Amino acid sequence: MLRITSPTPRWRLPREPACENRPAPEAALVAAIIIVLRYSPYADGWTCALVTSQIFSRSEILELLQARGPAQEALFSRACEVRNARHGRAVGVRGVIEFTSFCRKDCSYCAMRRSNRIPDRFRLSADEVLEAAACAQACGIATILLQGGEDVGSDRLLDEVLPRIKRELKLYVILNVGERTRSRFEQFRRLGADAFIMKFEASNPALYAQATHGSLMDRLENLRRLRDVGFVVGTGNIVGLPGQTLEHLADDLLLACELGPDYLSSSPFIPNEGTPWEREPVGDLDTTLNFLAASRILLERALIPSVSALEKVRPGGQLRGLLAGANVMTVNCTPSRRRDQYRIYSRERFVVTLGHVGRTLEAAGLDFVRGGILPAPQIGQGTR
Ligand code: SF4
For the whole prediction, is pTM greater than 0.95? no
Q: Ligand 1: residues within 6 Å at CB?
A: 103, 105, 107, 110, 112-113, 149-150, 178
The closest residue, in CA terms, to atom 2 on ligand 1 is 149
Q: Is residue 33 part of a domain?
A: no
Which uninterrupted H or E stretch holds 147?
strand 143-148
Q: Is residue 10 part of a domain?
A: no
Distances in Å between the alpha carbon of 338 and those of 95, 101, 302? 15, 10, 31
What's the whole-number mean pLDDT along residues 238-245? 98
The pLDDT value given to residue 119: 84
CA 231 to ligand 1 center in whole angstroms: 21
Q: Is residue 337 part of a domain?
A: yes
Closest CA to 203 of 30, 326, 28, 29: 30
Q: Identify the DSSP state of 152.
A: G
Site to substitute for ligand 1 among 150, 235, 272, most atoms within 8 A of C-beta = 150
Residues 265-282 have pLDDT tens digits of 999 999 998 899 999 999
Q: Is residue 34 part of a domain?
A: no
3-state secondary structure 304-357: CECCHHHHHHCCCHHHHHHHCCCCEEEEECCCHHHHCCCCCCCCCCCCCCHHHH
CA angle 326, 332, 337 (to 5 degrees): 165
- CA dist 197 and 175 (Å) reads 6
- End-to-end C-alpha distance for the chain, whole angstroms: 45
Q: Mean pLDDT of all residues in the chain?
A: 85
Closest CA to 160 of 138, 137, 198, 192: 192
Q: Is residue 238 part of a domain?
A: yes
Provide the greatest CA pair distance for the chain.
56
The pLDDT value given to residue 368: 87
Name the amino acid, one letter, at 91.
Answer: V
Contacts of 68 (CB under 8 A, 6+ apart): 286
Residues 77-90 have pLDDT tens digits of 999 999 999 999 99
The pLDDT value given to residue 54: 54
The pLDDT value given to residue 30: 52
The pLDDT value given to residue 371: 58
Residue 374 — pLDDT band, cuts 50, 70, 90? low
The pLDDT value given to residue 379: 35
Q: What is the dihedral of CA 98, 182, 192, 44, to 10 degrees?
A: 110
Q: For the chain, what is the domain count? A: 1
Q: Is residue 35 part of a domain?
A: no
Phi then psi for residue 377, to 5 deg, are: -60, 145
CATH code of 251's domain = 3.20.20.70
The closest residue, in CA terms, to atom 6 on ligand 1 is 110
Q: Is residue 32 part of a domain?
A: no
Distances in Å between the alpha carbon of 86 and those of 29, 263, 300, 332? 35, 14, 7, 27
How many C-alpha atoms does 11 have within 13 Å on its Cβ side?
16
Residues 167-181 have pLDDT tens digits of 999 999 999 999 999
Quick one: which atom of ligand 1 is closest to the CA of 109? 1
Per-residue pLDDT at 21 exceeds 50: no
Closest CA to 327 of 159, 79, 113: 79
CA 383 to ligand 1 center in whole angstroms: 31
What range does the domain containing 229 cover?
A: 79-369
Instruction: Convert 40-73 to b/e letters by CB count within 10 Å (16 or more is b).
Output: eebbebbbbbbebbbebebebbbbbbebeeebbe
Q: Is residue 120 part of a domain?
A: yes
Decide if 367 contacts 327 (C-beta within 8 A).
Answer: no
Phi then psi for residue 6, to 5 deg, are: -80, -55
